[in-house]
Copies of this chain bind each other. A is one copy, B any other.
Amino acid sequence: MTIHDLVTPALVVDAAAFEHNLVTMSQALPGGRLRPHVKAHKSVAIARRQAAAGHRAFTCATVREMEGLAAAGLGDDLLLANEVVDATRLGRLEARVTVAVDSLETIAAAVAGGVREVLLDVNVGLPRCGCTPEDAGALADEARRRGLVVRGVMGYEGHAVGLDDRERRRDETRQAMEKLAAAHRDVGGDVVSAGGTGTFDLNDLATEIQAGSYVLLDTAYARLGLPFREALSVLSTVVSTSAAYAVADCGLKALGMDHGNPSIYGASVWFCSDEHVTFAPSAAPSEERPRSFRVGERIRVHPAHVDPTVAYHERFYLLDGEAVIETWPVDLRGW
Contacts and interface: CB of A to CB of B under 8 A. Distances in A.
Interface of A: 7-10, 39, 61-63, 82-85, 102-103, 105-106, 123, 127-130, 132, 158, 237, 239-242, 244-245, 247, 249, 252-253, 256-258, 270, 272-276, 278, 295-296, 305, 307-308, 311-314, 333-335
List the number of copies, as a whole number. Answer: 2
Contact of A253 (B10, B132, B295, B308): B308
Nearest to A294: B105
A305 B252 contact: yes
B311 A128 contact: no
Contact of A106 (B239, B308, B312): B239
Contact of A312 (B240, B275, B311): B311
Nearest to A60: B275
Contact of A307 (B83, B274, B278): B274
Contacts of A305: 252
A228 B39 CA distance: 36
Contact of A256 (B241, B252, B334): B252
A161 B31 CA distance: 53
B308 A275 contact: no
A129 B311 contact: no
A137 to B, nearest CB: 17
A102 B240 contact: yes
Given A127-B270, A295-B103, A252 B307 contact: yes
B274 A240 contact: no
B237 A258 contact: no
A253 B314 contact: no
10 contacts: A61-B274, A82-B275, A83-B247, A103-B295, A105-B296, A127-B278, A252-B305, A253-B333, A274-B307, A311-B312
A83 B239 contact: yes
Contacts of A61: 274-275
A335 B128 contact: no
Contacts of A158: 273
Contacts of A307: 252-253, 274
B308 A257 contact: yes
Contacts of A335: 7-10, 249
Given A106-B295, A252-B258, 19 more contacts: A7-B63, A8-B335, A9-B335, A10-B335, A85-B237, A85-B239, A103-B240, A103-B295, A127-B242, A128-B273, A128-B276, A158-B273, A253-B308, A253-B333, A257-B258, A274-B308, A311-B312, A312-B312, A314-B334
Contacts of A7: 63, 335
A276 B258 CA distance: 13
Nearest to A241: B103
Nearest to A121: B240
A160 B9 CA distance: 27
Given A127-B278, A245-B127, A83 B272 contact: no
A179 to B, nearest CB: 14
A168 to B, nearest CB: 20
Closest 4 CB pairs of A and B: A83-B239, A129-B240, A105-B295, A257-B258
